Amino acid sequence: MNRKSSKNENVGDQRQRFQLAGNPVSIRQISDEIDIWMNNIMKETRSMCPSSGLPPQYCDPLDTICRNMSRLFRAKNNLMDCLLAQANELTLRPSRCQFRGYMIPTFRELWTIAAKKGVDVAYEVDNSIPEYLVYEAPRLRQVLFNLISNAIARTKKGQVKVTARTSSGSSASDVIELEFSVTNARLLERKGCGPASYQSYRRISDSMLEEWTDATGLTQAVTHQLIQLMDGRIWETAAEHDHGSVLHFSVTVKRDIPNLARMTSDISKYEDNRILIVDDIANESDQIQGMLEAFPLNTLALNPEDIVSSEDGRWPPKLHPKTPFEAIIVNSVDVLHNIRAIPLLNATPTILSSSAEFLDLAPLLKLDPSTFCISCRNQADLGYSIHSAFDSLPLPAGAHILAVEPDNINRLLFKKLLGTFDTLESTVCENGQQAYELFTRGKI
């Protein structure tokens, strides 16, 4: 009895000493601490990754180190999320963030992974999705990366397609349900079980999956939990022509409600600039002009016919060659060719793309895909885009900008202020392959 009593007292003393030392550390605190040092390691590693100018024998090992560091970082995220879920500490931290601008780098990384296997990754983002949302961007990126990487691993040849759109009935509400679909992205559920099995952990021994992706039991265990946490659901359908399956999932986000008064005040410093907008979609130029009326900008929205008719001297009242434009917005190659045929003084435009073709150009030109994207979906998106692009650093004098503008591209800002236009040259290609060849062969 004395021994037992003494033992219990020792346990009690240990517990008391532990409590005096401080409160127990939560999984969330551990996760945040790991994030700090992992982010520092990743930052230092990524700073080493640009291998231009290094001897060839150092390039491949350095790229391998950087790639594996990225995989380790993603594995850490999945592991910590599983632990947080077990401790009921997995929560969201939604914030205002761009949608396309945040997701394009993810697709670019996956496109690089897939290319090594001979698989193409294509994505389609519906215009109904606003550019600026309030959502948990890192978590959504984590889910997409898990699902698309699984699809890449399961696709022997051909294409993995990712689509994103808003569900019907959510366009007029501040709360929006986004629906995604990924071809051939079936998670590793048990045979005969439905989507509920996505929640369970299961060791994966498929060497092909491990080689081409980060597919582990953690990815399937955490993906469904994250989707549920974002008020979403997950389901699966058969693909067309019996080519595998299509995994669908939804998440709930909020539309960003911006402060238009503050935005208008910020843009007012460009009120003396002239902006030309040319749109080849019927009636949209009038809609864009109407949206721009809320901002203190001198804008002119035209149809391509107005530009073509200008070549024989019949200039519209505001479109005169002696009054150059500081910025030009267009949405097609044909429109661009028509504009360049007009003697707009000092107005050789800089062209930057946010389309799928940008995946080819961004690594070559070291451009940020989200910096210069112009979105004309609504007045708020347009204001954000112009403000962001005009506040970007001017390009150096004598720069030659290579750009791609395929069909169905989002509206783009051509760029910049009057003093910048007369120091730039630009080359416009119709696809990424043509741009890549021009760049690598030193023809620009």
Q: How many CA atoms lie within 13 A of 80 on its CB side?
A: 20
The DSSP element (H or E) to which 430 belongs, if any, is none
**In this structure, what token pair is assigned to residue 2?**
């004395």
Q: What is the per-residue DSSP string for 277-335?
A: EE--STTHHHHHHHHHTTSS-EEEEE-HHHHHHGGGT---TT--TTS--SEEEES-HHH
H or E element in which residue 427 lies: strand 425-429
Residue 160, pLDDT above cutoff 50: yes
Candidates 288, 381, 278; CA nearest to 332 is 278
Question: Each residue of 364-383: pLDDT tens digit?
Answer: 334 333 333 344 445 555 55
Q: Break the chain down into helix, strand, coil percent, rounded to 5.
A: 45, 15, 35
CATH H-level superfamily of 95-255: Histidine kinase-like ATPase, C-terminal domain (3.30.565.10)
Which residue in this structure is represented by tokens 């390691």?
Answer: 41
- Which residue spans within 45-185 are E strands per DSSP? 95-98, 119-125, 132-135, 158-166, 175-183
pLDDT in tens, 67-110: 677 777 777 777 777 777 777 777 888 888 878 777 877 777 78
- Which tens digit of pLDDT belongs to each residue from 425-434? 445 444 445 5
Using an 8 Å Cβ cutoff, are 410 and 99 in contact? no
pLDDT tens digits for range 280-298: 555 555 665 666 666 666 6
Mean pLDDT along residues 115-136: 82
Structure tokens at 423: 């120091």
Lowest-confidence region among 185-189, 265-269, 291-295: 185-189
User: pTM of the entire structure?
Assistant: 0.54
CB-CB neighbours of 29 under 10 Å: 12
pLDDT at 236 over 80: yes
Query: Cα 198 vs. chain centroid, distance in angstroms?
Result: 26
The counts of H helices and E strands in the chain are 15, 13
**For 329-347, how does the pLDDT look when each residue is reduced to its tens digit (9 = 90+)?**
555 444 544 555 554 434 3
Instruction: Check if the beta carbon of residue 370 is closer than 8 Å to that of residue 102.
Output: yes
